[in-house]
């Protein structure tokens, strides 16, 4: 469970850094979050 929280935090951190520069679509980010949630 702790790994899951850490991984989500990493995803959010990465998204906050990458999104302005790479302009990643919101739905894609949501899909990635859903995939991570399904792993745990």
Q: Note down the domain range covering 27.
A: 1-39
Domains identified in the chain, total number: 1
Q: Please tell me the pTM assigned to this model.
A: 0.37
Per-residue pLDDT of the chain (40 residues; tens, 9 = 90+): 577 788 788 777 776 665 556 666 677 778 877 877 777 6
Query: For residue 30, how far is the Cα from the chain centroid?
Result: 7
Whether 29 contacts 19, CB under 8 Å: yes
């Amino acid at each position: 469970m702790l790994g899951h929280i850490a991984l989500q935090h990493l995803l959010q951190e990465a998204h906050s850094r990458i999104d302005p520069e790479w302009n990643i679509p919101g739905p894609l980010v949501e899909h990635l979050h859903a995939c991570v949630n399904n792993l745990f």
